[in-house]
Amino acid sequence: MVIIYNMKVSIIGAGNVGSSAALLLAEKDICDQIVLVDIVESVRGKAMDINQSSTALGFNTKVIGSTDYEMIKDSDVIVNTAGFPRLKGSGSRDELLEKNMEIAKTVCSNIRKYSPKSIVINVANPVDVLTYAFYKLLGNEPSKVFGMGGLLDCSRAAVLISKETGVSVKDINVIILGTHGDTMVFSKEHTKVDNKQLKDSITDGKVHEIIKKTKFGGSELVSLMGQSGYVAPGACIARQVEAIINDTKEIFCIPALVDGHYGYRGFYIGVPVVLGKNGIEKIVELPLPEDEKKALSEAAKHVKESVSAVEKLK
């Protein structure tokens, strides 16, 4: 694989998720520059700290920290992690919408000003509906505006399946559609373990348990750590950016704008997509059994309701 080194990636928000993503992406050594932007001055220190790990980790990517949005100018990819996270005692991801919508407005106006052609990945929650807001506020093609959410759920489920079966996570391919939240749709039909169907590897009871644990994986972390996870989200962001930079055409489950896909149109929801140098190269339509179709319709109903809330907040 030829590595293109002239890539510039900007990450807005240098909190837990943003700075983890910057480190894990820098470690891949596939871009020239990573710009971290935040409203707090400590962003410079965070970038400096990551740079100082480059000798031990062996990467040449330069990480720049700034409070000046102009630094994102002409980025190839921009990742938004600026947003309030869930904390212990706080409510669901959906309750973050109003506050994170205000941040999204600032972020999008700066992207439009300095780097309108970038591929934009939104991570801030509630990710499905907020990514729709990004699409509307940026006015860019939907193939260039998408989210990160399902990949994290797939990664969480793969860890649980691996623990149960002893199969390496590298040989487990999980498919999760729907929302990054309570209405996620775990596809038993399309999840493969060592190229075999999930039901041929573990009992129905265990599958049910894994689905439940995956659904509440994020809340479990919040109750254990007092805040939401950031290493795994950072790693998933780095994987998505890598797929774009190296044009890998891998399939990831992510929030994307559906336009007739799976029978839905006009909102963002988690679906499998092919990621490459142009962003979303294609949405993959898998034939779903009746129970998964029904679960997806519940997820779609949930997102559609939140989309009307976004229209009001705009």
Contacts (CB under 6 A) with ligand NAD, residues 84-103: 84-86, 96, 100, 103
Question: Which DSSP string do the residues of the chain spell out, in sequence order?
Answer: -PPP---EEEEE--SHHHHHHHHHHHHHT--SEEEEE-SSTHHHHHHHHHHTTHHHHT---EEEEES-GGGGTT-SEEEE--SPPPBTT---GGGGHHHHHHHHHHHHHHHHHH-TTSEEEE-SSSHHHHHHHHHHHHT--GGGEEE-SHHHHHHHHHHHHHHHH---GGGEE--EEE-SSTTEEE-TTT-EETTEEGGGTS-HHHHHHHHHHHHTHHHHHHHHHSB---HHHHHHHHHHHHHHHTT--EEEEEEEEEESGGG-EEEEEEEEEEEETTEEEEE--PPPPHHHHHHHHHHHHHHHHHHHHHHHH-
Q: Is 174 in the site for ligand NAD (CB under 6 A)?
A: no
Q: Is 181 in the site for ligand NAD (CB under 6 A)?
A: no
Contacts (CB under 6 A) with ligand NAD, residues 263-282: none
Question: For residues 67 and 40, is the Cβ–Cβ distance under 8 A?
Answer: yes
Distance of closest approach, residue 217 Cβ to ligand NAD, in angstroms: 10
Binds ligand NAD by CB under 6 A, chosen from 36, 50, 78, 124: 124
Using the minimum distance from each CB to ligand NAD, give the nearer residue, 65 or 229.
229
Distance of closest approach, residue 237 Cβ to ligand NAD, in angstroms: 9
Distance of closest approach, residue 10 Cβ to ligand NAD, in angstroms: 11
Distance of closest approach, residue 121 Cβ to ligand NAD, in angstroms: 10
Binds ligand NAD by CB under 6 A, chosen from 65, 233, 270, 279: 233
Using the minimum distance from each CB to ligand NAD, give the nearer residue, 66 or 201.
66
Q: Is 131 in the site for ligand NAD (CB under 6 A)?
A: no
Question: For residues 253 and 271, is the Cβ–Cβ distance under 8 A?
Answer: yes
Question: For residues 191 and 200, is the Cβ–Cβ distance under 8 A?
Answer: no
Using the minimum distance from each CB to ligand NAD, give the nearer residue, 165 or 227.
227
Only one of the segments 133-141, 162-170, 206-214, 224-232 lies at the binding site for ligand NAD (rule: CB under 6 A); that segment is 224-232
Number of residues that bind ligand NAD (CB under 6 A): 34
Token pair of 185, please? 């749709």
Binds ligand NAD by CB under 6 A, chosen from 7, 9, 12, 310: 12
Using the minimum distance from each CB to ligand NAD, give the nearer residue, 106 or 197.
106
Using the minimum distance from each CB to ligand NAD, give the nearer residue, 180 or 188.
180
Contacts (CB under 6 A) with ligand NAD, residues 25-54: 37-40
CA distance 80 to 97: 15
Q: Is 180 in the site for ligand NAD (CB under 6 A)?
A: yes
Q: Is 230 in the site for ligand NAD (CB under 6 A)?
A: yes
Token pair of 144, please? 């260039």
Using the minimum distance from each CB to ligand NAD, give the nearer residue, 100 or 183.
100
Interface residue list for ligand NAD (CB under 6 A) = 12-18, 37-40, 81-86, 96, 100, 103, 106-107, 123-125, 127, 148-149, 152, 180, 228-230, 233
